[in-house]
């Protein structure tokens, strides 16, 4: 079931247009994979957490989140990957 909800190989991650969009917006954008490894951060994230992209990319999300928040988010993501159902209200 988990493979049904994952995008195929995240081709958008290397897409220049997406990166231009993510860099142009003032909001923080962070892309993490299924095991909470950071794959991309924009300039707003870098300013927010005080690390350069090179220091974050490839690191675990725990690098920038308090342990209790990271654990809760990991559980929410695991549930989503198992069920395909969202349990976090983003509004």
Give the β-pairing of 30-32 and 38-41. antiparallel
> Is there a contact between 60 and 36 (Cβ–Cβ < 8 Å)?
yes
- Paired residues of 60 in beta bridges: 37
pLDDT digits (tens, 9 = 90+) for 44-54: 999 999 999 99
Output helix, strand, coil percentages for the chain, rounded to the nearest 5.
55, 10, 35
Distance CA 4, CA 28 (A): 27
- Is 0.75 surpassed by the pTM of this model? no
Amino acid 82: pLDDT? 86
The pLDDT value given to residue 3? 39
- Average pLDDT taken over every residue of the chain: 80
Predicted local distance difference test score (pLDDT) of residue 10:
59
SS3 letters for 17-52?
HHHHHHHHCCCCCEEECCCCEEEEECHHHHHHHCCC
pLDDT per position as a tens digit, 50-80: 999 999 999 998 888 888 887 787 788 888 8
């Amino acid at each position: 079931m988990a493979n049904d909800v994952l995008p195929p190989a995240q081709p958008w991650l290397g897409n220049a247009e997406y990166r231009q969009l993510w860099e142009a917006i003032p909001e923080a954008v962070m892309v993490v994979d299924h095991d909470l490894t950071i794959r991309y951060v924009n300039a707003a994230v870098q300013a927010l957490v005080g690390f350069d992209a090179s220091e974050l990319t490839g690191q675990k999300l725990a690098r920038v989140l308090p342990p209790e928040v990271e654990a809760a988010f990991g559980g929410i993501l695991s549930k989503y990957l198992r069920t395909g159902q969202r349990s976090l209200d983003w509004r």
